[in-house]
Chain A
Amino acid sequence: MKLIMAIIKPFKLDAVREALTELGVQGLTVSEVKGFGRQKGQTEIYRGAEYAIEFVPKVRLDIVIDDAEADRVVEAIRDAGKTDKIGDGKIFVLDVVQSMRIRTGETGSEAL
């Protein structure tokens, strides 16, 4: 099993979710995060004084799927989440040691 962790632009969430649903992904977790990469933050000005806002709002998706599906999921996220501008985000693939469905106690691929 693999954990696909994707950081994307917030407004791309709907497009990415639709693409994943079409692939047959059964579930995922979304969190609102902030961060920076090559896309630096911005400067806000209040009453003439500058405030450096270093972090940019992003959305993080966590998806756990079978090894066989990983490449397709990564590609789907990339295609849906791309804008060709700085700040599009990143995708990481991690190994998952175990997974379990809380209701039934099923483990492994059965839990996904």
Chain B
Amino acid sequence: MLKRKGFNGLAVMLAAGFWLLPSTAMAEGLSSGNTAWILTSTALVLFMTLPGLALFYAGLVQSKNVLSVMMHCFTIACLVSVLWLVGAYSLSFGDGGGANAVIGGLGKAFLSGVGKEAMSGDIPESVFFMFQMTFAIITPALIVGAYPERIKFSAVLLFSALWLIFVYAPVTHWVWGGGWLADLGVMDFAGGLVVHATAGTSALVLAFLLGTRKGFPTELKPPHNPGLSMIGAAMLWVGWFGFNAGSALAADTSAGMAMLVTHISAATASLVWVVIEWVKFGKPSLVGVVTGMVAGLATITPASGFVGPLGGLCIGLAGGSICYWAVGLVKSRWEIDDSLDVFAVHGIGGMLGTMLTAVFAIPVLGGGGLAEGVSLGGQLVTQGTGVVATVVWSVVATFVIVKVTTAVVGLRASDDEITEGLDVSTHGESGYTL
């Protein structure tokens, strides 16, 4: 406002006058309430990756690889942040001109033209940029779960960079950036398709091409620190409030209900896993209860702004049970070493939740209703279209990206490096010096 070096008495009085207006009616239509909430949500969602997801994954691997998965999460966060500024934000949310149905343009590369005062609705565009960036960070970080204990670090970086640009940005643009899925009316509140379906499906493809861990499937080592995983999972739960409730992009009733249904789904799905393990094995486990939690959270994500408490409960029940079954499907039947079950929990969860969004959005089930003139059947077809498009694109693009990555830097660490443990062989560090 006061850009001149000096200021005179009139300017001071005018500036003072603005502060007397209600906080929601500041100049340029900025809502400080909404802005405050999205600033907070940004921090919460970054917290999900750093250190939530890092700790969650760290506890599940062998001790000799604990640092490597944390390194993957941390470095991906940094890499994506820079690429987001360089061009990925623009590709996701920019105007693609003639190609806008499938991708944004590079008009906002390096945030060109986006100054401090630029707005995105009633919040600063800088805040919207940051909030969306934390989503762009966690999505490739989720894929870390497919490849621990045997991947080359250079491959992690190259793969993640290419994947951000060729999978995450396009799908984000389709669903949230004014692309063709948005035009079709696909309902994805916080990223069932954009985050979970993409990450899960791509994880499956990468795990398949990378090959299994030694000893898979019957002679693996168990998680080295389930307690660490629980700590990370708890951070994910809390952070997810920023993920889903923040996706309302406002501090309003949508955010409130989104937080509520998110929480209920997490709690319900966790209990589902407790029950399943208790009945099947007689021993409900900590790893089980936190995995159920993640399944519940992933499944509610696309629905969180559209459903009511009953929807949260039912989606938690569905997510918990179906994702449990999916873990066995991938590991035992398909024998794909998606080591930390990214597809079963996030992929299946995200796709299931996307479909259930239509069902539980209907008012009689407590939802906020479907769009004007749209039937449940019609919305289910739309949601299904979104799922199929996302899955097909993720599979094809990931396959190509993995092939390119393999050709340029390789993919799998050497047998000796894997045996020694990636912490020492790749990063020159030991997780525990006792």
Residue ranges of A at the interface with B (Cβ–Cβ < 8 Å): 44-49, 51-53
Interface footprint category on B: 20 to 34
Query: Closest chain B residue to A44 by CB distance?
Result: B222
Known: A48-B331, A52-B219. 18 other contacts (CB 8 A): A45-B277, A45-B285, A46-B222, A46-B226, A46-B285, A46-B287, A46-B288, A47-B287, A47-B291, A47-B341, A48-B280, A48-B324, A48-B327, A48-B328, A49-B220, A51-B221, A51-B222, A53-B222
Q: Is B283 an interface residue (CB 8 A)?
A: yes
Q: Is B223 an interface residue (CB 8 A)?
A: yes
How many angstroms between the C-alpha atoms of A76 and B217 in the bound complex? 46
B281-310 interface code vs A (CB 8 A; 1 in, 0 out)? 101010110010000000000000000000
By a CB distance below 8 angstroms, the chain A residues around B324 are 48
Quote the shortest CB–CB distance from A35 to chain B (angstroms). Answer: 18
By a CB distance below 8 angstroms, the chain B residues around A53 are 222
How many angstroms between the C-alpha atoms of A46 and B280 in the bound complex? 12
Supply 27 A–B pairs (Cβ within 8 Å), ascending by A.
A44-B222, A45-B277, A45-B283, A45-B285, A46-B222, A46-B223, A46-B226, A46-B285, A46-B287, A46-B288, A47-B287, A47-B291, A47-B327, A47-B341, A48-B280, A48-B324, A48-B327, A48-B331, A49-B217, A49-B220, A49-B331, A49-B332, A51-B220, A51-B221, A51-B222, A52-B219, A53-B222
Query: Closest chain A residue to B219 by CB distance?
Result: A52
Shortest 9 CB-CB contacts between residues of A and residues of B:
A51-B222, A46-B287, A45-B281, A47-B327, A44-B222, A48-B328, A46-B222, A48-B327, A46-B223
How many angstroms between the C-alpha atoms of A40 and B362 in the bound complex? 56
Query: Closest chain B residue to A51 by CB distance?
Result: B222
By a CB distance below 8 angstroms, the chain B residues around A48 are 280, 324, 327-328, 331
